[in-house]
Copies of this chain bind each other. A is one copy, B any other.
Amino acid sequence: MSVVKIMWKRERRKEERPGEIVKAAFEAFSERGFAATRLEDVAALAGVTKGTIYVYFETKEKLFEAMVRHYSSRMLADADAMLAAEQGSCRERLEAFLSFIYLRCARNRTGREIIRFIVTESKSFPRLVEDNYRDFIAPTMLLVGELLAAGVANGEFRKNVTRETAEIVLAPMVFLSILRLILDDGLKIDEDAYVAAHIDLALNGLLAPASR
C-alpha cells in the first residue's frame, strides 16, 4: 500500500481528506495542546502537506473547533434515548446510566481527550466550554437530576437529594478521566472495581448501619 502511495505523488481524495485531517488534528492536539501543536505535525499525521489543510479549514483555530465538534457531537446523541429506554427501578436505571457514561467518557480515549480540551483551552476557546456545557454537561446533569427526583418521589432515594447531588454523583467519573489523562498508563487502577465502588458508595454511603 505504501509503495503505491509513494508512486502517487498527488492523491485526490476529497471525500476522505477532511476526516483524515480531523483525525490527525485530534491526535496532534491531544499530544501537545493547541498552541504547541504545529500544523505541520497535523499534516504529517494526516499524510498530506501543510497547504492541504488550508483547502479544508480556514485557520488552525477553525480546524481545532471542527475537530472538537466532530468528536463531541456524538457524545450525548443516544444518552437520552438510552436512559429513556432503560426500564426498572430508579436505582437500576442510575446504575445503568453510570455504566453507560463511564463507557462513553472515562473509558474511552476520545471522551477523555475532549475533557482535556475543555479544561486546557477553556480560556482560549470559550465557545468550546459554552457549547459543551449546553449540549453535554448541562443535559447530563439534568437527566441525572430527573432520575434522582424520580427516585425520591417513589421512595427509592433519600429525601435529602439536592440541586448539587447530580454533580456529586457524577464526579468520580470525571475524576477517573482526569487521572487517566495525567497518568496515562501509569494509572494502576482496576476500572471495573472503581466503577463498582463508585456505584456502591453513591447508593449506600460510607456509614455502617449501626452508625446511623
Contacts and interface: CB of A to CB of B under 8 A. Distances in A.
A123 B91 contact: no
Chain A interface: which size bin? 35 or more
A148 to B, nearest CB: 7
Contacts of A162: 193, 197
A164 B178 contact: no
Copies of this chain in its oligomeric complex: 4
Interface in A120-152: 120-124, 129, 133, 148, 151
Interface stretch (A18-26, A43-51, A179-187): A179-187
Contacts of A172: 167-168, 171-172
B156 A208 contact: yes
Given A174-B171, A206-B148, A124 B183 contact: no
Interface of A: 31-36, 91, 94, 116, 118-124, 129, 133, 148, 151, 155-165, 167-172, 174-176, 178-179, 181-183, 189-190, 193-194, 197-198, 200-212
